[in-house]
Structure 1
Amino acid sequence: MNGLLHLNKPAGWTSRDAVNRIQRLAKPAKVGHAGTLDPLATGVLVICVGQATRLIEYVQRQPKQYLATFRLGVTSASDDTELELTAVPDAPIPTREAIEAALPQFVGEIQQRPPAYSAIKVDGRRAYDSARRGDLMELAPRPVTIYSIELIRYEYPELVLDIRCGSGTYIRSLGRDLAESLGTGAVMSGLVRTAIGEFRLETAAKVDDVMAGKLKDFLQPPFTALANVPRFEVTPEQAIALRQGKFMELPELDRDTPEYAALDLEGHLVAIVIPRASVWGPKLVFAPG
C-alpha cells in the first residue's frame, strides 16, 4: 500500500496520534506525517504511506497556509493557551490601523525565535522536555519565510490572521513577535492549517470516514507529493533501467533543473532523477504498484 492521505486532523490529537491510527490500517506498510500540527491545531495533515514516506521532505517544502487566532494582552510560557496565561500590565489596545501597519515587517525572510515549548533539539534534548522540567531555554533565532499575512478579523482582544509561510515557521512565535512590536503580548488560541501546497482543507478526508472505510480508497498517488518537481514520461525499458539504478542520457531534460520526477506510461512514479556529469541518474527509485 502506497500513497498520500490528505487528512483533516481534529483538535486534541497530536500528529503522532493520527499516524498511529493510520498505521493500524496500513500494516505492514510504513506510515509518517509531513509537518507537525500541535493538539490545539486542526486542519490539513498529509500522511505518507508505504514508499510515499520517502517523499515526506517534498511535502514539507511546499508553502503552508494557516488561519490563526490570537488573544492579545496576555502571554504564556508556550506562546499559546495550553499553559497558564499572564496578563500584560497596562496592556495597550492596538488599533486595526496599527496592526496593519506592523504586519509588513514580518513578511519575507525573517529571523524568528522558536517557542520554548517546541520540538527543536538543543544538546540532544527536545526544548519542550527541558521546559517541562522548568528549564526554559532561549532558543536562537533562525530564518523562516513568510509569503503573506492578511488581517481577517479584529475585535479586541481577538485577532485573526491568514498566514502563508514556508517550512519551519512557528505561528505562535509570529503572533508573539507581532504583539511585542505593538507593545503588548499575545497567545495563540486557535489554529487551522488550511493548505499545504495543493492539499487544501476543503478536500481533506475526515478521520471518521477514513476509519470507517478502506484506507486505499483515500490514498492519492505518491507523485502528488511532487507538486514543485517537473515531470517527464519514460518508456517501459527506461523505467526498468531506472529502477535498477542505471544512468542514462535524457537530452530532453534541462540540466539547469536540479531534479525531475520520472513517471511510467500509466502515470506511476518510477524515480526522481538528478543530473550526474553528462547523464541522469536516480536519486530515489520506487517499485511498481
Structure 2
Amino acid sequence: MKPTTVIDGFINLNKPTGITSAKALYKVRSASGMRKSGHSGTLDPAADGVLVLCVGKATKTVECMMNHPKVYRATARLDVTSESLDSDSAHIPVETDGERSQSEVADALAKFEGPQEQVPPIVSALKIGGVPAYKLARRGEQPAMKARKVTIYWTRLISFDWPTVSFEMACGRGTYVRSVIRDLGASLECGGCLTGLTRLQVGPFHIDDAWTLDRLQTASAHDYILPLSQWDEAVRKDPPPVPPRPDG
C-alpha cells in the first residue's frame, strides 16, 4: 500500500540473487511510491542479502551508511579461478600439489584480519581513466588496479570440504570479498573463486530483520520503512561500531 505522504527512513531489504541493486531499488520505489530514495552500497547481481535503502530525508545519511562495517558470508572454491574472480566468468582449473587442510585454511584466513592494502578485481566498476575497469577487461585489456587501504575486522571459518570453503567476515568500506578469496588462494598456493555471497549485516541492519521483495510488495510502507527519527542516531555514529564476532 502506497502512503499519501513521504516517510523519511530506511528499508532493510533482503535483495535476492539475479537482479541488480538498481533494479531492486526500482521495484521498491514502484511498490512504495517513494521516488526520493537510494541505496547505501551496491550488491552484485549474484549476491543476496542486506541492501539498505534510504527514503526521503534519510537519503542525506547515505555517506554515513556506507562507512558502517559490513558482515558477509562467502563460499568459494580453492581449485579454480576466473577472470572475474567469481562464477560470472568461466572457471579455470588451478593445479596444486595436493589438498589443503582445514587448519591450513583457517590459519591463512585469520592472517587477513586487520588493516591492509588490497588490489580490487579487474572486473569491477572502479574507473581507470574515466572508464569502468570491467569495460576495459571486456576489450581484452589488463588495467593496472591500484591497491587501496581496507580493513577486515574479523573472519570466521564456517565449513571446509576441499575444495569448498565457507566463511564469514566483517569488513570496512571498499573491501572486495572476491579479492580476499583471490589472495587467500595465493597464500595457500592454490585457486580462489567466489561461488556464493550473502551480506548479513550493514551497520545496525541485520538480515534476520530484512524484508523480501515479495513480502514488501504486499505490505503497507508504514510497516517496512524504519523511521529516520528512531534510527538516525545509530546510523550517524562516528566511528561506527564493529559488529561482534559470533561465538563458535
Q: Same fold by TM-score, threshold 0.5 exceeded?
A: yes
The match for 1:89 is: 95
Distance (Å, rounded) in 2 between the aligned partners of 1:17 and 1:225: 26
Q: Is 1:120 the counterpart of 2:126 in the alignment?
A: yes
Q: Would you say how many aligned residue pairs link Structure 1 and Structure 2?
A: 232
Structure-2 change in CA distance of 1:69 and 1:210 (3 Å): same
Q: Which residue, out of 80, 88, 113, partners 2:86?
A: 80
Unaligned 5+ segments in structure 2 are 1-5, 240-248
Higher strand share: 1
Deviations along 1:43-92, one digit per CA (max 9) or x if unpaired, are: 10001111111111111111110110001110100000110010012453
The match for 2:48 is: 42
Q: Is 1:227 the counterpart of 2:234 in the alignment?
A: yes
Distance (Å, rounded) in 2 between the aligned partners of 1:28 and 1:62: 24
The match for 2:183 is: 177
Q: Is 1:17 the counterpart of 2:49 in the alignment?
A: no
Deviations along 1:120-142, one digit per CA (max 9) or x if unpaired, are: 11111111122222223231111
| 3-state SS of paired residue (2:111) | helix
Q: Which residue, out of 183, 202, 208, partners 1:202?
A: 208
Q: Which residue, out of 24, 29, 37, partners 1:31?
A: 37
8 Å Cα contact 2:61/2:235 also seen in 1: no
- The amino acid of 1:138's aligned partner reads A
Deviations along 1:152-178, one digit per CA (max 9) or x if unpaired, are: 100011100110111111001101101
TM-score normalised according to structure 2 size: 0.88
- Higher alpha-carbon deviation: 156-165 or 131-140: 131-140
8 Å Cα contact 1:92/1:184 also seen in 2: no
Unaligned 5+ segments in structure 1 are 231-256, 259-289
- The amino acid of 2:132's aligned partner reads R
Distance (Å, rounded) in 2 between the aligned partners of 1:213 and 1:182: 48
| 3-state SS of paired residue (1:213) | coil
Structure-2 change in CA distance of 1:150 and 1:26 (3 Å): same
Alignment of 1:95-244 (within 5 A): 95-223=101-229, 224-227=231-234, 229=236
Deviations along 1:195-254, one digit per CA (max 9) or x if unpaired, are: 111210111011101112222321012252542646xxxxxxxxxxxxxxxxxxxxxxxx
Distance (Å, rounded) in 1 between the aligned partners of 2:233 and 2:143: 36
Distance (Å, rounded) in 1 between the aligned partners of 2:232 and 2:195: 30
The Cα RMSD (Å) is 1.7
Distance (Å, rounded) in 1 between the aligned partners of 2:233 and 2:50: 17
Distance (Å, rounded) in 2 between the aligned partners of 1:40 and 1:125: 23
Distance (Å, rounded) in 2 between the aligned partners of 1:105 and 1:68: 17
Distance (Å, rounded) in 2 between the aligned partners of 1:129 and 1:215: 38
TM-score normalised according to structure 1 size: 0.76
Is the radius of gyration larger for structure 1 or structure 2?
1
Identity value in percent? 39
Segments ≥4 residues shifted beyond 4 Å: none
Structure-2 change in CA distance of 1:130 and 1:226 (3 Å): farther
The higher-RCO structure (CA 8 Å, 6+ apart) is 2
- The amino acid of 1:178's aligned partner reads L
Distance (Å, rounded) in 1 between the aligned partners of 2:87 and 2:181: 12
1:28 offset after TM fit, Å? 5.8
The match for 1:286 is: none
Distance (Å, rounded) in 1 between the aligned partners of 2:210 and 2:171: 20
- The amino acid of 1:184's aligned partner reads C
- The amino acid of 2:234's aligned partner reads A
